[in-house]
Every structure is written in C-alpha cells, then in structure tokens.
Amino acid sequence: MKLKTILVLALAAALMLTGCHKASAEDENTQGSGAGETVVETAGEEAAEPEEPALPMMETSLDDYPLSTPTDDILVLVNKTHPVTRDYVAPDLVTVASCDNSVGNADTKKMRKVAADAIEELIAGAKDAGYNIVMRTGYRSYDYQDYLFNSYAASYGEEEANTYSARPGQSEHQTGWCCDVGRPGYGLTSFDGTAEAAWVADNCWRYGFILRYPADKTDITGYIYESWHIRYVGLEVAKYIYDNGLTLEEYLGILD
C-alpha cells in the first residue's frame, strides 16, 4: 500500500474518533433527571418563592375619622383616637338569643348579623365544653355609652373611669362588632379568673373573636384587662392575632 493511501486512511480514522467523543459529551450535557429530558438553565435566575396570601386589613380610610357613616368593614378600628359620631348607627343589627335579660336594654342585646351568629356558635361551643356563658351587652348607642361613662365618672372620677369605660364615641360597642360575655346571674367583673374566662381566652379565636383588651397591652389599647370583652374580626384574622399575641391596633399597625 502506498504511503499516501496509508496517511489518508489514518486521518479519516482520527476524525471519526474525535466525532464519537464529541457526540458522547453532548449526550451527557443533555441528560436530565429523567431519560430524554433536557435541562435548560438561565444564568443568574433563581426559582421564585410562592407568595404568602395577604391577610385582610382595615378598609376604612384614616382620613374618614371621626366616622359618621356606617361601614361593613369588619376590622374598622374604634378607640380613644379613632372615634365615631353620635350619628353612627351599626347596620343589620339582630338580637342575640343567648343573652342576659337582666342587663341593658333591647338594643344592647343586638350585634351585627355576622357577629351575632358567631357569638351564638361560641356560646354553644362553651356549653359543649361544660361552661355556661351568655352575652351581656353587644351594641351600645352613643347616648347609652354617654350615660354609662358619666355614671362611672360621677362615682369614681373621670380619669379612673376612662381606664375601663370608653367615652361616648370611643366605644367599639357602637360598631356592633363586639360584646361582653359572662356567667348568668353574676356581675361582669366576677368573670375574671373563672374557668369560663379561661375557656373564652383560649377558644374565642375559633369563632372569629379576639380578647380585645389583654392584660399586658394596656399601654396600646388604653384600657385595663377585660376578660369579658371580645371583638369579632373574622376567623382568619382572629387566628393570626391569637397565634401572635397581638392587639387589633398592632395587627392593623395603627398605634397613634
């Protein structure tokens, strides 16, 4: 065989061997975790983390205070710095059947429909757990709160009264979203330290309520601890507030 022919054959063999190696390397680079899958990567990109669903917030504008127009905002804030006017009357008020008839008047036995249904469920839940609880007062008009506050102020002084009783217009009872609970036949403050109060504190969130004035949050809420005062905020928000030990003011981020 001539030398020229031998060189041509050798070159061809070398080219074939190089092509085999290249094809093998390309096959390896296109192999994914499963057969036949091709992995496509983009430099500098990271997998996006799923966004957490946003929790409900107050819909009422802070510019609207003092409120005079009723709102369906379940999280509407009413306190010493965010008042309502005498004209504010909670809509869709209904009478709560499981109430203490010896306290208040016909209006104070009412709550907003959603909250009224929820308090009936809470009272039924307490009964199933072996506790007898009733609603004492729910909705209070501006004038009724005016009467209450002035009565306390006349007996104990205005400054002391304002630590546990709201001035007219500053009580969230006027929104129809809250109520006081207690044991039938007992006074309001006698609820403190009872097994019923402990059950309410531990379980009211299951029905969409929060303990509105916790013992260690007086500097935020402006009121002393009230084991009996619960506020409807809805199931999702109630669980979040309970789990994180917050007040409504802290949850909303409105602390002024």
Contact yes or no for 79/172 (Cβ under 8 A): yes
Tell me which long-range contacts 56-59 makes (C-beta under 8 A, separation of at least 24).
56/234, 56/236, 56/237, 57/252, 58/252, 58/254
Per-residue pLDDT at 7: 41
Note whether residue 102 is domain-resident: yes
Note whether residue 54 is domain-resident: no
| 226-232: strand order across its sheet | 134-137, 178-182, 226-232, 209-213
Per-residue pLDDT at 53: 67
Per-residue pLDDT at 24: 44
Structure tokens given for 100: 């203490």
Domain residues for the domain of 173 are: 62-252
Question: Based on the structure, what is the number of domains in the chain?
Answer: 1
Note whether residue 4 is domain-resident: no
CATH number, domain of 78, equals: 3.30.1380.10
CB atoms within 10 A of CB 94: 17
Per-residue pLDDT at 47: 59
CA–CA distance, 70 with 90 (Å, rounded to integer): 6
Per-residue pLDDT at 4: 44
Note whether residue 34 is domain-resident: no
Query: Closest Cα partner for 217 from 206, 200, 205, 229?
Result: 229
Note whether residue 20 is domain-resident: no
Question: Residues in the chain, how many?
Answer: 256
pTM: 0.80
Note whether residue 186 is domain-resident: yes
Note whether residue 234 is domain-resident: yes
Per-residue pLDDT at 14: 47
CA–CA distance, 103 with 97 (Å, rounded to integer): 14
Please list the active-site residues. Answer: 226
Angle at 106 between CA 104 and CA 108, to 5 degrees: 50
CA 196 → CA 130, 201, 225, distances in Å?
9, 9, 16
Burial class (CB in 10 A: 0-12, 13-18, 19+), 254: middle
Note whether residue 27 is domain-resident: no
Mean pLDDT, consecutive 10-residue stretches, the chain (256 aa), reads 43 46 44 42 54 86 97 97 97 96 94 98 98 98 97 96 97 98 94 98 98 97 98 98 98 96
Per-residue pLDDT at 56: 97
